[in-house]
Copies of this chain bind each other. A is one copy, B any other.
């Protein structure tokens, strides 16, 4: 589909995926007077509660997806594991952003890192692993300090192993049942950060101030803005995002996860072709949140001003933490709960953002 005209107020945005990101995208679309439809394979999807209509179906069911898209003026997705073939199929009849190319590129850790390096940006050392022998060889090459990951379908630490020996590296590869893997050298980073940015249909670009991020058990625990990044590092992070977005001809919001080294340099860890957990603080601290920004890009609207008018600390509410909702509700700040019935261990149930007046831009 060509760029086409903007989706006007009253138009409908289709969202593939009905989790909390889809839910917050739907709420953001509603602010702009846009309607949403949500497609998901889970009949209890949190996003179903806040959209005008929804479809339960498999993401591989091209007939169902096509019927769904027919009711929409533009289509997007909330998670990177929607099949690129499904997105490419929708693109034959409907505007869909981000495009299948960007999605495909970020669905494979090896391809993604190779692409990042091709832009002259730095990543941790990495290598493809397609055999136990390669796992052993790279583990040794990276001084026994490396992580083995499946190339595809990993998130929040799933599909990852931290071998302690070459034998364990080979065993980890075997445990992934022979799917293509990648070995990544450990990085002695000072701290983690990310940059959330957007590119419009017209090529315009906007980046939020990069937060400092803290993970626990491979899951984001806290994002702080302003964090420890200097103004110069913030500008460098935004420039990294701009180069990636331009090279991918990207449309929509995306995140670049970064390692900040002790020497001050920034390494690219991962690209997420979607709104991102480390950008949830934009709901309070910016006039246009990452969710609205994504909807604006997908709908062909002007990007919103990413300026931050407040400081923020976002923390995730995970698993059984959500049972203490009354304690969160009593704290000064913004509580967000995702409408999930069951507080399973490791499940993202909500988040809480402390907001305070701006100290520095």
Contacts from A to B (Cβ < 8 Å): 6, 8-10, 23, 27, 30-33, 35, 49-52, 284, 287-288, 296, 301-302, 304-305, 307, 309-310, 322, 325-326, 329-330, 332-341, 350, 353-358
Contact B337 A33, beta carbon cutoff 8 Å: yes
Name A33's contact: one of B309, B330, B350 (CB within 8 Å).
B350
Query: For the complex formed by this chain, how many copies does it contain in all?
Result: 2
CB distance from A195 to the nearest CB of B (A): 20
Q: Complex Cα distance A310/B30, Å?
A: 23
Residues of B with C-beta under 8 A to A337: 9, 31-33
- Interface contact B33-A288, CB-CB below 8 Å: no
Q: Is B325 a contact partner of A9 (Cβ separation < 8 A)?
A: yes
Residue pair A358, B357 in contact (C-beta under 8 Å): yes
Residue from B35, B49, B334 in contact with A49 in the complex, judged by beta carbons closer than 8 Å: B35
- B338 and A33 contacting across the interface, CB-CB below 8 Å: yes
Q: Is the CB of B287 within 8 A of A302?
A: no
- 9 other contacts beyond A6-B326, A307-B332, with CB at 8 A cut-off? A9-B337, A27-B50, A33-B325, A33-B350, A35-B49, A301-B326, A309-B355, A309-B357, A357-B358
Does the CB pair A329–B302 fall under 8 Å?
yes
- Could you show 17 A-B contacts with beta carbons less than 8 Å apart? A8-B325, A10-B339, A27-B30, A31-B334, A31-B337, A32-B335, A32-B336, A32-B337, A35-B339, A49-B52, A50-B50, A287-B353, A288-B334, A302-B330, A309-B310, A309-B356, A357-B358
Contacts of A6 in B (CB 8 A): 326
**Given that A50-B30, A310-B357 are known contacts, is A10 also in contact with B341, CB under 8 Å in the complex?**
yes
Q: Which residue of B lies closest to A359 (CB)?
A: B357
Question: Are A31 and B27 closer than 8 Å at their CB atoms?
Answer: yes
Q: Which residue from chain B places its CB closest to the CB of A361 in the assembled complex? A: B357
Q: Is the CB of A287 within 8 A of B333?
A: yes
Complex contact B332–A9 (CB within 8 A): no
Known: A49-B30, A337-B9. A305 touches B326 (CB 8 A): no
- State how many angstroms separate the Cβ of A64 from the closest Cβ of chain B: 23
